[in-house]
């Protein structure tokens, strides 16, 4: 399956203590009244898509237009009418309409085509090919959940590691993203591996500074 990072949930203002209490209870081996607690947890949570202000189908005009004019025509299964399709995915976030930001990076799990959450995730598995840049300690950290503050610090360490190796190799980090545009696989060049590490670092800093920790999925 590999390693993926997902932005963790964030408490709504004024619900921080309840959020932490529910988070501990829901992650315990035994949790009484789990269904009710899950429902309440969702009520007081800010999800990553809300932080991004991603337009939602059936709610925002541009997202609804995307569903009608882009998403629906690409479907092989036309059993549903366009109207029924739009209604079926009402509320779905369209992350592609958010625009460029550090919380959305190109390294995602492309095998996970059926889940909206993949678009805000980061494919941490790629860091295994970057051991020469980040070292064993930083790689080990990629497999551990982190609260927001630790997520920021981890991202800063990744960025520092990338900057150090880039300087030693005469590479301009501002231009390494061109490796993606030329079709070169990242693992085949130092520029590509630096791009992975830099993208990972920016992802962590973006989400951590906005109150979202890192949740690891393996």
Q: What is the mean pLDDT of residues 22-27?
A: 88
In a domain? residue 116:
no
Q: Using 50, 70 and 90 to split pLDDT, how confident is the model at 35? A: very high
- Is the pLDDT score of 19 beyond 80? yes
Co-location of 171 and 136 in the same domain: yes
Q: Are 192 and 132 in the same domain?
A: yes
User: pLDDT confidence of 176, banded at 50, 70, 90?
Assistant: confident
Same domain as 98, residue 25: no
Q: Which helix (H) or strand (E) holds 46?
A: strand 45-46
144 lies in some domain = yes
Question: 195 and 159 in one domain?
Answer: yes
Q: Where are the alpha helices (DSSP H) in 55-187?
A: 61-66, 72-74, 82-88, 131-141, 148-168, 178-181
Helices (H) and strands (E) in the chain, counts: 10, 4
Evaluate whether 93 touches 118 at the Cβ level (below 8 Å): no
Neighbour-count burial of 105, counting CB atoms closer than 10 A to its CB (0-12 exposed, 13-18 middle, 19+ buried): buried
pLDDT at 178: 63
In this prediction, residue 27 carries a pLDDT of 83
pLDDT in tens, 84-116: 999 999 999 998 899 889 999 988 886 655 556
In a domain, 4, yes or no: no
Mean pLDDT confidence for 142-170: 96
**For residue 75, what pLDDT is reported?**
87
pLDDT at 138: 97
Q: CA-to-CA distance for 101 and 199, rounded, in angstroms? A: 11
Mean pLDDT calculated for residue range 52-63: 94
Residue 185's pLDDT is what?
A: 58
pLDDT beyond 90 at 130? yes
Together in a domain, 14 and 61: no
The pLDDT confidence band at residue 145, using thresholds 50, 70 and 90, is very high
CA-based nearest residue to 199, from 165, 218, 174: 174
Q: What is the pLDDT of residue 211?
A: 95
Instruction: Identify whether residues 180 and 159 lie together within a single domain.
Output: yes
Average pLDDT over the chain, rounded to an integer: 90
Percent of the chain with pLDDT over 70: 91
144 and 167 inside one domain: yes
pLDDT on residue 1: 60
The Cβ of residue 141 has, within 10 Å, a number of other Cβ atoms equal to 19
Range of the domain at 26: 10-46
Helix (H) or strand (E) holding 208: helix 190-209
């Amino acid at each position: 399956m590999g390693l993926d990072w997902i932005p963790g949930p964030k408490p709504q203002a004024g619900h921080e203590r309840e959020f932490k209490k529910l988070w501990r209870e829901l992650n315990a081996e035994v949790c009484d009244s789990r269904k009710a607690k899950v429902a309440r947890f969702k009520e007081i949570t800010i999800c990553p898509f809300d932080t991004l202000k991603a337009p939602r189908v059936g709610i925002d005009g541009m997202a609804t237009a995307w569903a009608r004019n882009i998403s629906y025509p690409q479907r092989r299964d036309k059993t549903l009418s366009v109207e029924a399709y739009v209604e079926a995915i009402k509320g779905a976030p369209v992350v592609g309409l958010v625009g460029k930001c550090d919380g959305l990076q190109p390294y995602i799990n492309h095998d996970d085509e059926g889940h909206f959450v993949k678009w805000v995730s980061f494919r941490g598995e790629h860091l295994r090919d970057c051991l020469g840049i980040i070292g064993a300690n930083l790689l080990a950290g990629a497999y551990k959940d982190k609260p927001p503050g630790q997520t920021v610090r981890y991202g800063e360490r990744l960025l520092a590691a990338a900057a150090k190796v880039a300087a030693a190799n005469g590479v301009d980090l501002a231009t390494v993203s061109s490796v993606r545009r030329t079709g070169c696989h990242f693992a085949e060049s130092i520029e590509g591996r630096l791009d992975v590490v830099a993208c990972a670092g920016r992802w962590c800093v973006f989400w951590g500074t906005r109150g979202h920790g890192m949740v690891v999925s393996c």
